[in-house]
Amino acid sequence: MTERLADTPSDQDFLRLDGQICFSLNAASRAFGSLYRVLLKDLGLTYPQYLVMLVLWEQGTVPVKELGRSLRLDSGTLSPLLKRLEAAGLVTRERSAEDERSVHISPTAAGAALRERAAEVPRRIAAATGFGLADIVDLRARLDRLTTALDAATAAEGV
């Protein structure tokens, strides 16, 4: 009979809700979403729209396909987002001259100007966490490693 170490959880412990890392990550994500919703209201952006604008502020003109890859969004989710941003006058969508199948997204002057107003959002989010900068950097690195590991596990499972 194998003796269980004192700090090794039992199978029953693994099935407790408070023991699920996925639940903790989901709860944190929902809490972030709630705070972002409040902070982005004055900018007239939803959180997914804010993510699109972050990429555009950083990179300028971006093909839709690359934008989807960067944000981990499929075209069915991304297309309506981009249409709403275009209707709000924040981005333009233009077909590539080299490849008609490719559409490029660019911030408009109004979209670029919004960047200055958005600069306070990450500071307020960081302050709300109660974490120091080193803790935030460490958490981000750990979450990136977790994402990479989970992507690899998914690929290994053939999904």
- Percentage, residues of the chain above pLDDT 70: 94
Q: Which of 2-11, 27-36, 70-79, 132-141 has the lowest mean pLDDT?
A: 2-11
Is residue 153 included in any domain, yes or no? yes
| Mean pLDDT, rounded, for 76-95 | 95
- Residue 43: the pLDDT is 96
| pLDDT over threshold 70, residue 26 | yes
Range of the domain at 139: 119-159
pLDDT in tens, 48-72: 999 999 999 999 999 999 999 999 9
Please provide the distance, in angstroms rounded to a whole number, between the alpha carbons at the two ends of the chain. Answer: 37
Is residue 70 included in any domain, yes or no? no
Is residue 132 included in any domain, yes or no? yes
Q: What is the pTM of this model?
A: 0.85
Question: What is the total count of domains within the chain?
Answer: 1
Average per-residue pLDDT for the chain? 92
The Cα–Cα gap between 65 and 63 comes to 5
User: In Å, what is the CA distance from 53 to each residue of 30, 45, 89?
Assistant: 21, 9, 12
Is residue 129 included in any domain, yes or no? yes
* Residue 4 vs residue 83, higher pLDDT: 83
